[in-house]
Amino acid sequence: MYETVKPKEVKTWFKAAEVSKFPKNGGACIKYKDKQIAVFNFTREGTWYACQNACPHKMEMVLSRGMIGEENLVPKVACPMHKKTFSLKTGENLNGELEAIATYPVKVEGDVVYVGFSE
């Protein structure tokens, strides 16, 4: 149900929430139709990322509560359950063999955050 959307595949820019709803250098969860999407405000890099909220390890809806950081310049999120880490760029599981998580494009216009979907 969660599939990576590349920037050029975006059909809908969904208006997620105001910038202020997302903690600096942290994440929060948004709801889009029946999907839960984790959106991260990587203030130190000045970038935003989005990915599925479900951790592929145990399928719990928790990734938005994970801590973000970086490893060899790859931005990542650590799941709060068992600290599996995932690249926020490619979705790849960096410290294990779990399947990659789906990632989504994010853009900010004015003080509003938009997440891109292909449907």
Binding site for ligand FES (CB under 6 A): 55, 57-58, 60, 79, 81-82, 84
Report 28-47 residues binding another protein (CB under 8 A). Answer: 28-31, 36, 42, 44-45
Which residue from 75, 91, 105, 116 is in contact with another protein, where contact means CB under 8 A?
75
Considering only CA atoms, give the Rg of the chain.
Answer: 13
Bridge partners for 86 per DSSP: 77, 93
- What is the full DSSP assignment across 50-65? EEESB-TTT--B-GGG
Phi, psi of 75 (to 5 degrees): -70, 140
Closest to another protein by CB, 21 or 107? 21
71 binds another protein (CB under 8 A): yes
Of another protein, ligand FES, none, which one does residue 66 interact with (CB within 5 to 8 Å by kind)? another protein
Binding site for another protein (CB under 8 A): 16-17, 21-26, 28-31, 36, 42, 44-45, 58, 60-62, 65-73, 75-76, 78, 80-81, 83, 85, 96-97
